[in-house]
Amino acid sequence: MMIPEMFNKTKPTFQKILDLIISSMIKRRIHGFDYGVAIVSEGVFHKLNDDEIQKSGVRFTCDAHSHKYLKTNAKQTKYPQGPNLKNPGL
């Protein structure tokens, strides 16, 4: 589970989020677990600055209070240049 408080001393970026997920996957694999779920709280994405979001190419839908909707876009957005999670080069 990744929550916004994990980024109190640093700004979150998509790369930091991916690095944390991948390192957690590696740790679980080392301990013999080849399954699991990565949960990232929406609050983490709310802490991303606009430049980071624009760099990512992901388009978010926002509500009347400018809160980003991630679930909607997760179904609609394709990541043509996303990370190769099958072979992250580790």
pLDDT score at 88: 57
Q: Does a structural domain hold residue 24? A: yes
Per-residue burial over 45-57, b if 16 or more Cβ lie within 10 Å, else e, is beebeeebeeebe
Supply the pTM of this predicted model. Answer: 0.66
Is 81 part of any domain?
A: no
Q: What is the pLDDT of residue 57?
A: 75
Q: Is residue 18 part of a domain?
A: yes
Whether residue 39 is contained in a domain is answered as yes
**52 within a domain of the structure (yes/no):** yes
Res. 37: pLDDT tops 60: yes
Report the domain count for the chain: 1
The CA-based angle 74-13-55, given to 5 degrees, is: 70
Per residue in 45-87, pLDDT (tens digit) is 888 888 888 887 777 777 788 776 655 444 444 444 445 556 6
- Domain that residue 21 falls in: 4-76
82 domain residue, yes or no: no
The reply to whether 64 falls in a domain is yes
Is residue 55 included in any domain, yes or no? yes
